[in-house]
Amino acid sequence: MNTVYPTLITNDLRSELSKAIGGHPANDIYVLTDTTTQQECLPYLYSCGLSDECRVITVAAGDANKNIAAAVQVWEYLSSHGATRKSLLINLGGGMITDLGGFAASTFKRGIRYLNIPTSLLGAVDAATGGKTGVNLMGLKNEIGVFNPADRVLIDVHFFKSLDAHNLRSGYAEMVKHALIDTQAEWKEILAFNLEEVDFDRLRVLVERSVRIKERVVEQDPTEKNIRKALNLGHTFGHAFETFSHRIGQPALHGYAVMWGLLCELYLSFVQHQFPKEELLRLNYMMKENYGKLEFGCADYEVLYELMTHDKKNDEGFVNFTLLSGIGQIQLNCTADKELIFETLDFYLNT
């Protein structure tokens, strides 16, 4: 497997796009968008020199449409328009599009080249890099997929300027996670950033650093046998909160659920691995200021616990976590029982 992940964070998409395309014939370039990015992001790509002879494939927006039917739509379009093993697919969108397009490209004729151009902060710092591709099946997230990195990931902060405050914060939560698994210096920088008045030049610098953290982890363990599990920090509680929020009709963005999950998993880290209390309280303060809290009560603990036990990363009877014994001190394959998980939910509600 190719373990080089050439993600470029650029102010000059025109020139980087041209280099990435490298003279490939325009009528053999396929651009995958969803209905939203076709309207809102594709014109910018044309303004950066993308030829209007490129063929555009548009699928319905939203994670509910990240399914095998959408992959079939992409495969059928490619096949019926004469795409070959040499064709190029450009995925323009958030995580739904880069996951779907990466999967469709990786499997069409046993694999064609693809580029990711993420249009959300969340997509840029998470889904677009690292080579995880896939679609959902029967309500199970990313049930079908392959590891296969994009040829190039081109990140242009321009796209983030039109994101609303919630989507910006959602992406930022994954940057918080990257800093926590990295160094005290990164953690300090991430805490200092003002999400109320976003300085996009500064954000660009932080995005670059965040993506490099992810790349360094993925490079050591592309297929998540070991250290890549560090990227799951916050996600065991986080996925349960996310699913629960949808069930109660108050759907939370992924990054919000991750931020709430980070607080819980740093609490577990504090209890089990002496993670410093002052850092736990710093995260709590930052979370309350910027993300608020998911509303639930003790009566919901059983449901949340059930959601955690259904996570495919679990062994029998215990829920698996990645925890920290300090900033950047990763503890893989940790477990917690029901009693400790309930205690953690108490902490979340009462802190």
Q: Which is nearer to ligand GLY, 40 or 224 (CB)?
A: 224
| 130: contact with ligand GLY by CB under 6 A | yes
Run of H or E residues at 154: strand 152-155
Helix (H, G, I), strand (E, B), or coil: what is residue 262? Answer: helix
Helix (H, G, I), strand (E, B), or coil: what is residue 130? Answer: coil
Q: Which is nearer to ligand GLY, 73 or 243 (CB)?
A: 243
Q: Which is nearer to ligand GLY, 84 or 220 (CB)?
A: 220
Q: How long, in residues, is the chain?
A: 351
Which residue among 74, 117, 157, 231 contacts ligand GLY (CB under 6 A)? Answer: 231
Which residue among 126, 182, 242, 279 contacts ligand GLY (CB under 6 A)? Answer: 126
**Contact, 234 vs 214, CB < 8 A?**
no
The window from 79-87, 224-232, 294-302, 333-341 that contacts ligand GLY (CB under 6 A) reads: 224-232
x-or-dash pattern for ligand GLY, window 179-218, by CB under 6 A? ----------------------------------------
Compute the least distance from the CB of residue 271 to ligand GLY, in Å.
24
**How does DSSP assign 83-113, residue by residue?**
--TT-EEEEEESHHHHHHHHHHHHHGGG--E
Q: Which is nearer to ligand GLY, 92 or 95 (CB)?
A: 95
Q: What share of the chain is helix, strand, coil (3-state, %, to 5)?
A: 55, 15, 30
HSE-up of residue 254 (Cα within 13 Å, Cβ side): 20
| 132: contact with ligand GLY by CB under 6 A | yes
Q: How many residues bind ligand GLY (CB under 6 A)?
A: 6
Count the neighbouring beta carbons within 10 Å of the beta carbon of residue 149.
26
Looking up tokens 């926590």 gives 180
Q: Which is nearer to ligand GLY, 231 or 263 (CB)?
A: 231
Phi, psi of 140 (to 5 degrees): -95, 125
Q: Which is nearer to ligand GLY, 54 or 179 (CB)?
A: 179
| 99: contact with ligand GLY by CB under 6 A | no
Run of H or E residues at 34: strand 29-34
Count the neighbouring beta carbons within 10 Å of the beta carbon of residue 337.
11
The window from 125-133, 136-144, 177-185, 294-302 that contacts ligand GLY (CB under 6 A) reads: 125-133
Contact residues for ligand GLY, defined by CB under 6 A? 126, 130, 132, 224, 228, 231
